[in-house]
Structure 1
Amino acid sequence: MSMLTPQGLKGKQMRITGTSYPRLGPPPRRGRRVFAVIGSVLALALIALGGVQLVNIFTGKAKHGSAQACASAHPAAGTSGKPLAAPAPGASGSPSAGASASAGASSSAGSAAASPSALGSPLPAVTAVPSPQAVTVNVLNSTDKSGLAARTADELKQRGFTVGKVGNAPSALQKKVPGSAEVVGGQSGAAAAALLGAQVAGSATMDDGRTDGSVDFVIGDGFNALLDTNAAAAALAQATKPAPSPSAAPGSC
């Protein structure tokens, strides 16, 4: 018998028998097992979702779906939607009674005899202009400053323009041009009007419906002088610069 054995007990009575042993650590918590199972399920779901998205990207299904969405958001012209309404008669582009009254004047002066509010819409923007020698311009003075049309015509002639009629503007335009100048022409003279309008700051190009390529340079009350050649060239480059087309953002229609 060992010295550690209590008195009255034999060694066999303190011997541990069998295959089970006492657990020395704390018992496992049930909550940890539940959280481990839930975390595993979520991880598998995220992996499956990522795999599906990768398959759609490489097979082009996502692109096809966005194209269909854009097609439904922007239907083709003529398939649906209301047609654009035509402008009401007399709203713009129709000459006033004052224009018809002064139509008996010379052909170049009579084309600019309409009031500024009856000249119609501004001429469209252009991206190319002719040479000054190919432009015939009529210089008309609508102010009370004498000799202004002649001096301006001489400066335009020095820049290469072909000068036609020089004189006072029709009575319907006298003191009716508050800006620096109005360049009046037709659709055929839109490029010539853009070239001529770049010669003075604050000018406006207006359409009076004429069919030839001539233009009228009507001097207004705000006119001081023509721009210098460098400033005119810069203004012309800016006026004929094509407008950049907006690029669609990725994923947008």
Structure 2
Amino acid sequence: MSMLTPPGMGGKYRITGDAYPRMRRPRNRRKIVGAAIAAVTALTLAGWGTVQLIDVFAGDEKKPGANTRTAAGCEAVPVVSAVPPAPKPAQITVNVYNATPRGGLAKAAADELRKRGFVIGKVGNAPVAYDKKVPGTGVLLGAPKAYGGSFRVLATQLRGSQLKTDARETADIDLILGTAFTTLDTKRDADAALASLAKPTPRPSCKT
């Protein structure tokens, strides 16, 4: 009997040789343990990845002082446009010319503009270059610097008028009445338009 044979056991239970038999775990149990470890690892990695994505998309909002931006990439901070103050009607000299075949329109328009505070210069028929050649309500003609203020003020009296410049160096403006002209805008509408010039509307700014 071998020394490895337990006492009282023999026959087919007899152990021969000088080494213990190798005991192995069932293979099914090893597979189950391995699958469980793999599942835990996968869940851990998935959760970590989700946290990272959240940090990426929400990181800017969490930072102190981060700017809120619109879909167009502009800061949603209203900034008043730097527009110079508009001149008063009393600071603008207007020459009124009639480019229509109807008589008396230039004088009637000039008288109304005078009542509204404008300084009236020349009044009469339009120059040959414009006589019966203005299809709209009218044309405002002046020096390029008139775009900075005088044009904006006089345009409140006649909506739809065209703006043009010439080579003059004086500050006066020509109002040339076109064939579609009937009368100036009502004083109520003109006053409302003038008031809006003094209150620029804030607009979003974009930083590049």
The alignment's TM-score, normalised by the length of structure 1, stands at 0.53
Q: Percent identity?
A: 32
Alignment of 1:165-180 (within 5 A): 165-180=122-137
**Cα pair 2:86 2:197 within 8 Å, conserved:** no
Higher relative contact order (CA 8 A, sep 6+): 2
How many residues are aligned here?
160
For 2:100, what is the secondary structure of its paired residue?
coil
After superposition, what is the alpha-carbon deviation per residue over 1:87-142, rounded to whole angstroms, capped at 9, x for unaligned? xxxxxxxxxxxxxxxxxxxxxxxxxxxxxxxxxxxxxx955311111110000111
1:215 correspondence with 2:173 = yes
Q: Which runs of 5+ in 1 are unaligned?
A: 1-26, 64-69, 71-124
Measure, in 1, the Cα distance between the counterparts of 2:113 and 2:159.
15
Identify the residue that residue 233 of structure 1 maps to in structure 2. 191
**Cα pair 1:140 1:149 within 8 Å, conserved:** yes
After superposition, what is the alpha-carbon deviation per residue over 1:187-233, rounded to whole angstroms, capped at 9, x for unaligned? 33231111111101211222223222111001011111111122112
Measure, in 2, the Cα distance between the counterparts of 1:202 and 1:52.
54
Aligned partner of 1:188 among 139, 145, 169: 145
For 1:196, what is the secondary structure of its paired residue?
helix
Aligned partner of 1:160 among 117, 120, 124: 117
Alignment of 1:17-36 (within 5 A): 30=31, 34=35, 36=36
More deviation in 48-57 or 187-196? Answer: 48-57
Measure, in 2, the Cα distance between the counterparts of 1:32 and 1:168.
103
| Paired residue type of 2:108 | R
Identify the residue that residue 18 of structure 1 maps to in structure 2. none
Identify the residue that residue 78 of structure 2 maps to in structure 1. none
Q: CA RMSD in A?
A: 3.6
Identify the residue that residue 204 of structure 2 maps to in structure 1. 245
Measure, in 2, the Cα distance between the counterparts of 1:226 and 1:204.
14
After superposition, what is the alpha-carbon deviation per residue over 1:144-179, rounded to whole angstroms, capped at 9, x for unaligned? 111110111000011111000000111110121111
Q: Which runs of 5+ in 2 are unaligned?
A: 1-27, 67-72, 74-81
Measure, in 1, the Cα distance between the counterparts of 2:165 and 2:33.
83
Alignment of 1:1-253 (within 5 A): 30=31, 34=35, 36-49=36-49, 50=51, 54=55, 57=59, 128-190=85-147, 191-237=149-195, 241-242=200-201, 244-246=203-205
For 2:129, what is the secondary structure of its paired residue?
helix
Q: Structure 1 residues 246, 52: closer, same or farther in 2, change over 3 A?
A: closer
Measure, in 2, the Cα distance between the counterparts of 1:141 and 1:243.
39
Measure, in 1, the Cα distance between the counterparts of 2:92 and 2:144.
14
More deviation in 239-248 or 139-148? Answer: 239-248
